[in-house]
Amino acid sequence: MRVRATTVGLLLAAALAATVQPSTAAVRDEAAPLPPIPRGRALAALAEQTHVLLAVRGGAAARRLLNAAGGHLVSAALGLWQVDGGAARTLVPALAGRGLLRYAEPDRTRRRSDHLDQGDPLLDLAWQIERVGADEVEPPGPGAPLTIIDTGVDLTHPEFAERPDLVLLTPQSTPEFGEPEYHGTIVTSTAGAPSDGIGTVGIYPRSLVRSYDLPDLEDSSIIAGIDAAVAAGPSVINLSIGGPGYSRSLYEAVMRAVEAGSVVVGAAGNDFQNGNPAIYPADYPHVLTVGATDKADHPAPFTSASLDVDLVAPGIAIPVQNPADPLLFGLFSGTSFAAPIVSATVAWLWTERPDLEPSQLAEMLRRSARDLGQAGHDTRTGFGLLSIPAALSAKTPPADPLEPNDDVDLITSRGIFGVAKPPLTGPGSGLVRVRAGIAAAEDPGDVYRVYVPAGTTLDVRVTPSGDVGVTLWHPRTESVHAGGVVARRNTLASSDRRGAVSERLRWRNASAKPVVAYLEVRLPRRERAAERVDYSLRLELTKA
């Protein structure tokens, strides 16, 4: 793929700071906590928010209360409503008192993960194409969809005015070049600008692009965009947006997208020099999190660091055509523009290999990345720099079935999806085998439903490539992340030997009725490595 050289007449980026401070990244929480119902001062603080998100259980009673208070249904699939902060003061206790409220939290406003006013005019145009090897292989025609949830695409831009295979999920706005709202056009250009003799060339120039134009950056709007992407069918969802502050609502929307068969790619954030906070949605499990590098393959000074970073891609001085003049360009920097390079690659790989599952696509990019810095995974560059040729020729990793299944609320009918995942064993089952994998940040544990008939013994053996633990939890368990007395009361059997050794547990259902218990395979609390541990799981039911 050849890139036409073009004179740069405009640089919209200032020089980046050259000093990088050592990483102070902390390990992110591996659980996705359900926020407590706010009361007292917590409720008063919540009521001061402009908008509040309320997750309710289904039923006409909840709808009547919310409609009467002027509530807005954000996601029917999640039972999620947006209300004014003042209304939340009375709605929260009213819904909680009736047992209708799952949680309440602020409708946080996210920000774009870009540095629109930064860059380096000495960098060559479109240097990212060569750096990730997109010039070494010929990209395919349209195939697996790439969904950009952002500020929309400027349809008057010469790259997109006549671009085929551009699907609009919402009406698109037309901001001025260089304004913050032009962010979505820059992201889309980086991923899929066509090879047409105009401007630059995207990583996957003939990709099928779906564009969702966000009206604002509140979580409710982002969730609506994710819902629209899910409704349109499985795709690679690019989220070059994010900010600090854990949101259960946004977490559930992302998990729903993963459950529906999409690959979610998130920009790691640009806050390394600003306290390096956790950035969401990038730091949720099952999100392919992308940091940024410079032309020397060093982490960009701004790129956020954490165990959640999976890999990196070029993110400094990415060129975009100025629509007003064919001789003018802008150079843009940020993890916002590293993420679509990876998203486009996932769509490319999925088009070439439609047989792959989403978890396999993400794992192939991790395993084929060119390691940078210290050997193995690190918090600045993840598993390394994206390599498209290496990803396309990589060995297919084992599938990871039933994801996401990190906790009980992701696999039961009373959980997030409202539909239970099938138990590994059932009436008449004998021997069952499963192969899967876990990783501290990306996939912290696997939880399975296990059917055990009355008077039957369940024998479990786990053979791992690293250190794991296994626990069988009581059917009343609400979360495997509960500790203390709750965990001891709900544990039926467990095994946690040190090292990459087999774990085995046995449990007999001595009751007169069959039960459906929860089997968890996890990294031990002492283990915080980011590398994946693969395991084989063997289950056998025998009459005692």
Strand order across the beta sheet in which 491-495 lies: 445-452, 515-522, 469-473, 491-495
- Out of 183, 286, 377, 481, pick the active-site residue: 183
How many angstroms separate the CA atoms of 395 and 397, rounded? 6
CB neighbours of residue 456 within 10 Å: 19
User: Which among 84, 107, 114, 150 is annotated as catalytic?
Assistant: 150
Strand-pair category, 533-543 with 456-464: antiparallel
Tokens (6 digits) for 457: 């013994």
Does residue 265 contact residue 287 with C-beta atoms inside 8 Å?
yes
Task: State how far the Cα of 168 lies from the Cα of 211, in Å rounded to an integer.
Answer: 5
Per-position DSSP letters for 177-215, written without gaps between them: TTSGGGHHHHHHHHHH--SSSSS---SSTT--EEEEE-S
**DSSP-derived secondary structure letter, 240:** -
Q: Check: CB of residue 296 under 8 Å from CB of residue 368.
A: no
Place of tokens 């063997």: 538
219 is catalytic: no
Closest CA to 275 of 463, 25, 529, 472: 25
Answer yes or no: are the C-beta atoms of 209 and 192 closer than 8 Å.
yes
| CA 194 – CA 218 distance, rounded (Å) | 31
Element holding 526 (H helix, E strand): none
Decide if 183 is catalytic. Answer: yes
Identify whether the C-beta of residue 391 lies closer than 8 Å to the C-beta of residue 412: no
Catalytic residue among 75, 189, 249, 336: 336
Q: 272 vs 205, 301, 348, 375, 542, CA distance in Å?
A: 31, 7, 30, 21, 54
Look-up of token digits 């529906």: 260
Q: What is the largest CA-CA distance in the chain?
A: 80
Q: Is 150 marked active-site?
A: yes
Which positions are catalytic?
150, 183, 336
